[in-house]
């Protein structure tokens, strides 16, 4: 941004929960929406990469993504993404 001519540029990162584990009501809602977005994004990309690039079968990749979905829904795992 500074190279484009903008001055006083500040970077502020936030942590966003993935899943419904937070106790705070607003963070819980954000986390549940965020989990749905991650599930949809990751599965499409993961299936394409696994099948077309790595050569795995659709069946194999479907099983792997079932494990990922289960992990995303695990309330004992406190996942975040930063942005």
DSSP labels, 1-56: -TTTT--S------EEEESS--SSHHHHHHHHHHHHHHHHHHHHHHHHIIIIIS--
Predicted confidence (pLDDT) at residue 22 exceeds the cutoff of 90: yes
Average pLDDT over residues 10-19: 91
Query: Which pLDDT score is estimated for 83?
Result: 78
Three-state secondary structure call for residue 79: strand
Which range, of 22-26, 28-32, 37-41, 60-64, averages the lowest pLDDT? 37-41
Query: Which pLDDT score is estimated for 34?
Result: 93
Predicted confidence (pLDDT) at residue 65 exceeds the cutoff of 90: no
Instruction: Answer whether 0.75 is exceeded by the pTM.
Output: no
Mean pLDDT of the chain: 90
């Amino acid at each position: 941004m500074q190279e484009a001519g903008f001055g006083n540029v500040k970077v502020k990162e936030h942590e966003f929960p993935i899943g419904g584990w937070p106790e705070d009501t607003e963070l819980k809602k954000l986390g549940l929406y965020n989990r749905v977005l991650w599930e949809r994004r990751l599965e499409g990309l993961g299936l394409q990469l696994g099948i077309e690039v790595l050569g795995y079968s659709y069946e194999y990749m479907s099983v792997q993504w079932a494990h990922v979905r289960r992990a995303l829904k695990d309330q004992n795992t406190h996942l975040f993404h930063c942005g």
